[in-house]
Chain A
Amino acid sequence: MTVVRIFPALLAALAACTGTSPSEDAATDGTDPAASTRDALVIGIQADAGMLMPAVYESATDGAILETLSYPLVDTEFDCSLKKMPALAKSWEWSDDGKVLSMDLRDDIQWEDGEPVTAEDIKFTYDLIADPAVASPRVASIQYLEPDGRPKIVDATHIEWHFTQAYDRDTQIAHVNLGIVPKHVWENVDRSTIRGNDKTKQPLSYGPWRLAKWDQGASLVLEPNPKFTGPEFFRAHLNRVIFRVLPEYSTRLIELEGGNIDLMEAVLVADADRLREEHPEIKLTRRGWRSNDYIGWNLNNPLFEDLRVRKAMALATDIDGMIGKLLTSKTGESYAKRSIGTITPALCGVHNDDVKPLPFAVDQAKALLAEAGWKDSDSDGVLDKGGQKLAFSLLTNTGNKRRGDAAILFQDQMKQIGIQVEIQRAESNQFFERLRKKDYEAALAGWAAGLFVDPSTIWHCDQPEKGKKYEFNFTGYCNPEVDALIEKGLATPNPKDAAPIWKEMQAKIYEDQPYLFLWWMDEIVAINDRFQNTSIDVLSPYNRLQEWEVPADKVKYQR
């Protein structure tokens, strides 16, 4: 064994005659029980991180990386609902009216540079978010906090959050549990230039990992934070985590199959079977129901005013068939389920399982259309009524292959009941612009799942005087009953009490068919199976990274 340890390169050269497996010369370090960290995890990402600064970051990658650099107030895990464990906050409790949340903080956590993490830092974070000069994307989190969206410091280790109203407690926790900004670093920075400040590229860690190196546009390296003073079980086990920026999907896949990256998100269904077959070393995991697709009808358009028409189109669309074609692998494994609303099935207590999606029934659809007065009077294959043809354009965004494919399938199916659909594509920015201005007839779009229920932005009646929050009601849907339910649900603190209200709302909206609800999708994450204790969940594809580890006999990279 000594020979192996001293001359691994020599051994590798000799191996030409004897033959060796890669794991043999990889086992050299495994004999050392003192080594607490080992191996590197290489993650292929599509776009580089941007700003690693909790108050202003924008992309999901930024958020996920920042999470690894932090020791949150409340440690969370997601399984149907949010599980909350004490972390930086040793304990917390609500006042009886649900409007005050007081927290007891640990005093032994410090920043990478040795400064302690205090209640002052937390307050400073909310100062920044509340400051309009910062233009923080997090301001939704402070809308119910008072005074002025900031917490109250009781003393160095006690902090109180005052809410203007009681609401869902998980959401309240989420609102106070943002990443913390080091006050001593940012205090003197001009707030309107925070985004462009170079310090957003040098984040200060107070968690299990620290940023070791960042080649912008190419790679980003995390290493265990030696100054981390949190509990032992929260310490990082791996030696390094390397994010490689690989914009092209096929490049990422080739690198994954070649063993040059260990983890990749958003694997296509078309590749899933093959990966499983050809690469026993790659494990495929699902992140459940993270996003949906739908076809929204512009309800201001007279064509879609009639519920019968909307319903007929839903009946004539073989959504299960589309799932089978677009989101099912050749071996029949399906990565999507039909959707009945905009609340993700991942929130299993809240999602209304009793609403049964409409069946695929072309005859019923035809009957409904006939009932609504649509006939093919000039027998050109397209239905018409009073001289107007039942024809419309379906807008979708470029760069999303699945939606483009779904649009084509939908077009095909509409043709069979005499509806003519023209597909229009717009670049993402313009796409949203047109949705916002309701400058479309029908649109194939999607929502990412929110883990906290707030349907008001999408379904609440469009009220321009109430601000721009309601601009996301793209269809112009307006149902006073639904509005009342939304308002009631939002004001209910206990998630268990709110659930029936949300269920009723989902049923009502589905009856109205403002969307043709298509499906919720699973995201496939591929990961090399030498990693253990991995938690790939709805929150993040690399959640709780500090717990990931590699058994000694499978270590690939010695550093």
Chain B
Amino acid sequence: MTAIVRTRSTAAPPVTRAGLLLPGLGHLLVGEIVPGVGMLLLVGVLLVAASSAPRLGGILVDEYGQPSLHAVVALLAWGVYAAGLWWTALRRAYPREMSDEEWNSNRQIFLRTLSRHRAGMMGLFGALFLISITLLTPLLATHDPLAVYVGEKLTAPCWDFPLGTDEFGRDVYSRLLYGGRISLSIGFVAMVIAASIGTTVGALAAFVGGAVDRILMFFVDMLLALPRLVLLLTIVGLFRVSGARSIFLIVVILGMTAWMGIARIVRSEVLSLREREFIQAARALGLSSGRILFRHLVPNALAPVIVFCSLLIGSTMLAEAGLSFLGLGVPPPTPTWGVMVNDGREPLRAAPWIAVFPGLAIVGAVLSFNLLGDGLRDAMDPKLRG
């Protein structure tokens, strides 16, 4: 406890006020390297995006002259990010007075632990960086990701094409940005699907118990025994999902093959919570089973699920990349990082950059979410507190 008390000083170091001018700088000056660098990166993205503001007019409409949602989302995101950054800087410069009760609340302890978790913070800022980039993609991209022959084919990285061009003369940098948007969305949506199925199945199994529990858990064990990629390949390969709908189907299939871990976690959490006093009290009050399950049990079991979900985004992105690598993923010309690595497979010798950069992006993204998951786990684990 002593450590916490010592840093709980209300007087702001004057130097952090510099952070109000440039968020991140203040953090760096008080020695918070990771958040500082992270924020500076985010600010950098914003500045680059802002510098392309003159092109905004052209971006507001798509190739058919229809208003484009992308740009609206991007502008909104820009606003939210800018506000968030300056708010954090403000908080750093003028810390808020806190009562002891608030200081020792679970929420504050969690936030403090996470903010001191170096790896977790790296993950958090990595993930934020990626998300901000994908949201601001229309402002950051220099070319249409689908436009062919915007440059010579297989051009090595140069000023106009910072990451080179592919076999088709498409700009790898722009494709990487748009591909990130799609890859991340696939990861997120599949994660949400998996989390919903997993939570429902796990909670049901634990709450109902008996034969239902055994059958559901047998099913979970069976699916866990199958190599996931092989299962995915079989489903997608046999059904040869194609056409415009395929991206949705792939997301659904990815989600439906990833929920088993969550089901197990939720089941064991609910099992242990079931006997706790507040649930007994709810029972005594005569609340309905559904209400007890979804209003009291599930929310309390969510902490480990959130950690797992963070890891799941990473593993889903890897699975999607693996599928795309075998040509069974999202159909071209839509770029995802996996599709891009696949595109770079044949010209690997002629143009290594086509495969190298999206691969690095995958590593970075998956790494960020895994680091974040680590940080969240440590921050939520009561054993590591205090």
List A residues at the B interface (Cβ < 8 Å).
248-250, 253-254, 257, 268, 270-271, 274, 325, 330, 380-381, 393, 398-399, 401, 404-405, 408-409, 412, 422-427, 429-430
Contact = CB atoms under 8 A, between A and B. Distances in A.
Contacts of B346: 249-250, 268, 270, 401
B345 A250 contact: yes
B327 A398 contact: yes
Contacts of A254: 348-349
Contacts of A422: 243-244
A136 to B, nearest CB: 29
Contacts of B110: none
B149 A271 contact: no
A424 B351 CA distance: 27
B349 A430 contact: no
Nearest to A399: B327
A424 B64 contact: no
27 contacts: A249-B345, A250-B345, A254-B349, A257-B349, A270-B154, A270-B347, A274-B349, A274-B350, A325-B148, A330-B153, A330-B154, A380-B64, A381-B64, A398-B242, A398-B327, A401-B167, A405-B168, A409-B148, A412-B148, A423-B332, A423-B333, A425-B242, A425-B332, A426-B240, A427-B240, A427-B242, A429-B240
B304 interface: no
B157 interface: no
B364 interface: no
Contact of B349 (A250, A393, A398, A401): A250
Top 10 nearest A-B pairs (CB, nearest first) are A250-B348, A427-B240, A425-B242, A270-B350, A424-B243, A430-B240, A249-B346, A425-B331, A426-B242, A271-B350
Contacts of A405: 167-168
Contacts of A412: 148
A271 B347 contact: yes
A80 B237 CA distance: 41
A359 B345 CA distance: 35
A254 B169 CA distance: 24
Contacts of B351: 270
A330 B154 CA distance: 10
A254 B152 CA distance: 24
A516 to B, nearest CB: 19
A401 B168 CA distance: 11
B333 A408 contact: yes
B349 to A, nearest CB: 5
Interface residues of B, number: 27
Interface in B313-361: 327-328, 331-333, 345-351
Interface in B132-186: 148-149, 152-154, 167-169
Contacts of A250: 345-346, 348-349
B45 to A, nearest CB: 30
Nearest to B333: A408
B372 to A, nearest CB: 34
Given A250-B348, A325-B168, A401-B167, 12 more contacts: A250-B349, A254-B349, A268-B347, A271-B349, A274-B349, A325-B148, A398-B242, A401-B346, A409-B148, A422-B243, A426-B240, A430-B242
A251 B328 CA distance: 20
Contacts of A430: 240, 242
A423 to B, nearest CB: 8
A408 B168 CA distance: 10
Contacts of B350: 268, 270-271, 274
A325 B350 CA distance: 16
A440 to B, nearest CB: 12
Contacts of A380: 64
A422 to B, nearest CB: 7
A330 B152 CA distance: 9
Contacts of B167: 270, 401, 405
Nearest to B146: A408
A395 B71 CA distance: 32
A454 B154 CA distance: 40
Interface string B50-91: 000000000000001100000000000000000000000000
Nearest to A249: B346
A254 B132 CA distance: 38
A540 B346 CA distance: 23
Contacts of B240: 398, 426-427, 429-430
A404 B349 contact: no
Given A325-B149, A422-B244, A424-B242, A408 B349 contact: no
Instruction: Please indicate which of the listed interface residues A325, A401, A408, A423 has the most CB atoms of chain B within 10 Å of its own CB.
Output: A401
A315 B332 CA distance: 26
Nearest to A271: B350
A123 B138 CA distance: 71
A268 B346 CA distance: 8
Contacts of A429: 240
B104 to A, nearest CB: 58
A274 B347 CA distance: 11
A248 B344 CA distance: 12
Contact of A325 (B153, B244, B327, B331): B153
Nearest to B355: A250
Nearest to A408: B333
Contacts of B169: 325
A511 B29 CA distance: 77
Contacts of B149: 325
Interface in B251-286: none
Contacts of B153: 270, 325, 330
A233 to B, nearest CB: 39
